[in-house]
Chain A
Amino acid sequence: MSRSAKIFSTIVILVWLLMALAPSLLAPGDPLAINPTEAFQKPGLAHFFGTDESGRDIYTRVIHGAGDSLAIGLAATALGMGLAIILGTVAALSPRWLDEVILRVLEALYAIPSLLMALLIIAFTGPGVGPAIVAVGLSTAPGYARLVRSQIRNLKNSEMLEAATVLGRSNWLKVRNHLIPNALKPLMALVTLGIGQAVIWAAALSFLGLGTAPPAPEWGAMLSAGRVYLHLAWWMSLFPGLAIVAVAVSATVIGRALGGKVKSL
């Protein structure tokens, strides 16, 4: 990964954090303010990203929407990754039979694609932000769990740990000195990638009408609203989408720079 890509990504992430934590600094207006006379304005000086069908300023909504996306993305990743790390580590370090059982369960879960599983969960819980978090978290967990398991297994069987055994290190010392520190970096990479993916999934759910309810300025919901007016007001869809893509790309770039490999759609 080139330096410029890493710098660019870091800047995007910082801007995103700023948008999420202090949106008023970048966009002093009210994201919910309706102004029917200004509906469907093209992007310009008055409205950087144009306005939507109710005259709301899209730029302001995109900036303020960052908080929602960040919250959902982080929460879902925490849930999904947390589960994945626990399951994966247990599977990797446990005796053969337990490992097999967990592996079979994970494979079964893996048989249902992420979005479908998320939809299934929502079918049982009903739509909303909370269910969206649970759905995204649970549906991405099996895939990550498999990755975590294989990473830890590789470490467990590595020559490095064997050498430590020969030097007489206890299990505790081996875990503390070698296993955990070497597992952290790939896990961090995975988590970073995961946040990028979670933001996309959450937006997808909102896009389908199953996540955040309007008129909240969540990016996926904005895309959904904009879809109807695509021919008329393309800016309603372009900018929220760009925001999602920018965040996801940056997270992916940083995750890859940390050593992760991308494998998800």
Chain B
Amino acid sequence: MGTIAWAGRKIGGALVVLWLVATAIFIAIRLIPGDPAEAIMGGPGSQASAEALAAARAEYALDQPVFTQYLLYLGKLITLDFGSSYSLKQPVTEVMGEVLPNTLWLSLLALAAAWLMALCFAAAASNAGRFGSWLGNLLEIIAAAVPHFWLGAVLIMLFSSALGWFPAVDNGSAQGLVLPVLTLALPLSGFLTQLMRDSLSEAMGSQFALAARARGESRLTLFWRHGLRHAALPALNLTGWAFSSLLSGAVVVEAIFARPGLGRSLLSAVLARDIPMVTGIALFSALVYIVVMALAEGLERIINPAGEQR
């Protein structure tokens, strides 16, 4: 379908998703037993002061009928007013603005690293025959079963405690990024490798690969001209999901390596039951997922306009 129509569909879909998430949060808040003002400000039995509670009641119009509250709530979200974080005493958007770049940066680096590693592993594995196949299976299983929090600890043990190459805690340097990025990227790369390997070996064994060799192409040229594109396609397809799982992993990784970021802020917000903060982060991550998905899909359309499955 035409590009404009496609973009329109994407935006429409995004709005629907965001609306659903916002509504779900709204309902969830109302389900917390007790005083909703307290619920927003740290949960039932919160220690919030009387003025804070009164301010919350006013801001969220808690004495109005529920539907009015809902509309007000949606209205504020549309203008990107998430209110103030109860625990940090700052507007939510401000807090997010501070920590967002860190997490985004971390996730993007991890995504790039995972892709690079996956491509290398996939290319190497497809050349190594049966051993490569076995290794690829092993990697994929490890990727699915090794949790970030353990992998981070292991990497710290190895590279920080034992070898002293990289710092275990964020100190603002580029070296401080290496271990966190690796922790995030390794499991994802195991999964991507298997994907790429499957489609790479399918491409290299296909009819057009044979035809290309019959034209005189060498195996290396075959890989560059044909294999690469086909290998990347399914991975591109899953990039949206991959990125969102990276965000998810960032929560754990930021905790392990004591890095400031969206994940850490979310964690503190959850512990403090700081609903405005949580709402902001939830909506934001949904938005990120949608944007990344759309970008990846756009890229896919460029490589493969016919939408073929290969």
Q: Please determine whether B147 and A120 come into contact, CB atoms closer than 8 angstroms.
A: no
Answer whether residue B43 sits at the interface, using C-beta atoms and an 8 A cutoff. Answer: yes
Q: Please determine whether A113 and B248 come into contact, CB atoms closer than 8 angstroms.
A: yes
Answer whether residue B54 sits at the interface, using C-beta atoms and an 8 A cutoff. Answer: no
Fill in one digit per residue for A105-122: 1 if any B CB lies within 8 Å of its CB, else 0. 101101111111001101
Interface size on B, residues (CB 8 A): 60
Q: Please determine whether B141 and A252 come into contact, CB atoms closer than 8 angstroms.
A: yes
A111-B17, A119-B266 in contact; A210/B286 too (CB < 8 A)?
no
Contact of B17 among A107, A220, A227 (CB under 8 A): A107
Answer whether residue B16 sits at the interface, using C-beta atoms and an 8 A cutoff. Answer: yes
Question: In the assembly, what is the distance between CA of A203 and CA of B13, in Å?
Answer: 34
Hey, which chain A residues are within 8 Å of B267, CB to CB? 119, 208
A223-265 contacts to B (CB < 8 Å): 223-224, 226-227, 230-231, 234, 237-238, 241, 244-245, 248-249, 251-253, 256, 262-265
Hey, which chain B residues are within 8 Å of A203, CB to CB? 147, 149
A119-B266, A220-B149, A252-B145 in contact; A113/B161 too (CB < 8 A)?
no
Fill in one digit per residue for A194-208: 1 if any B CB lies within 8 Å of its CB, else 0. 001100100110011
A112-B244, A230-B153 in contact; A120/B142 too (CB < 8 A)?
no
> What secondary structure prevails in chain B residues at the interface with A?
helix
Question: In the assembly, what is the distance between CA of A127 and CA of B188, in Å?
Answer: 28
Q: Please determine whether B247 and A105 come into contact, CB atoms closer than 8 angstroms.
A: no
Hey, which chain B residues are within 8 Å of A237, CB to CB? 150, 153, 157
Q: Please determine whether A124 and B29 come into contact, CB atoms closer than 8 angstroms.
A: yes
Hey, which chain A residues are within 8 Å of B255, CB to CB? 207-208
Contact of B161 among A111, A116, A204, A230 (CB under 8 A): A230
Contact of B149 among A193, A223, A265 (CB under 8 A): A223
Hey, which chain B residues are within 8 Å of A209, CB to CB? 271
Hey, which chain B residues are within 8 Å of A116, CB to CB? 247-248, 251, 266, 281-282, 285
Answer whether residue A21 sits at the interface, using C-beta atoms and an 8 A cutoff. Answer: no
The chain A residue sitting closest to B247, CB to CB, is A113
- B148–chain A nearest beta-carbon distance, Å: 8
Interface range, A side? 35 or more
Contact of A262 among B144, B269, B275 (CB under 8 A): B144
Contact of A115 among B134, B168, B249 (CB under 8 A): B249
Question: Which of A120, A230, A241: most chain B CB closer than 10 A?
Answer: A120
Answer whether residue A123 sits at the interface, using C-beta atoms and an 8 A cutoff. Answer: yes
Q: Please determine whether B191 and A262 come into contact, CB atoms closer than 8 angstroms.
A: yes
Q: Please determine whether A241 and B251 come into contact, CB atoms closer than 8 angstroms.
A: no
Question: In the assembly, what is the distance between CA of A241 and CA of B271, in Å?
Answer: 24
Contact of B153 among A2, A210, A226 (CB under 8 A): A226
Q: Please determine whether A104 and B191 come into contact, CB atoms closer than 8 angstroms.
A: no
Hey, which chain B residues are within 8 Å of A2, CB to CB? 134
The chain B residue sitting closest to A9, CB to CB, is B141
- A20–chain B nearest beta-carbon distance, Å: 18
The chain B residue sitting closest to A203, CB to CB, is B147
A203-B147, A204-B147, A208-B252 in contact; A120/B153 too (CB < 8 A)?
no
The chain B residue sitting closest to A253, CB to CB, is B141
Answer whether residue A36 sits at the interface, using C-beta atoms and an 8 A cutoff. Answer: no
A123-B275, A265-B187 in contact; A238/B157 too (CB < 8 A)?
yes
B residues in contact (CB < 8 Å) with A: 13, 16-17, 20-21, 25, 28-29, 31-32, 43, 134, 137, 140-150, 153-154, 156-157, 160-161, 168, 187-188, 191, 194, 241, 244-245, 247-249, 251-252, 255-256, 266-267, 269-271, 273-275, 278, 281-282, 285-286, 289-290
Can you list 9 A-B contacts (CB < 8 A)?
A: A111-B21, A123-B270, A207-B255, A208-B252, A241-B153, A248-B144, A262-B140, A262-B144, A265-B245
The list of the 6 closest CB pairs from A to B, nearest first, reads A113-B248, A241-B150, A248-B145, A115-B248, A108-B20, A113-B244
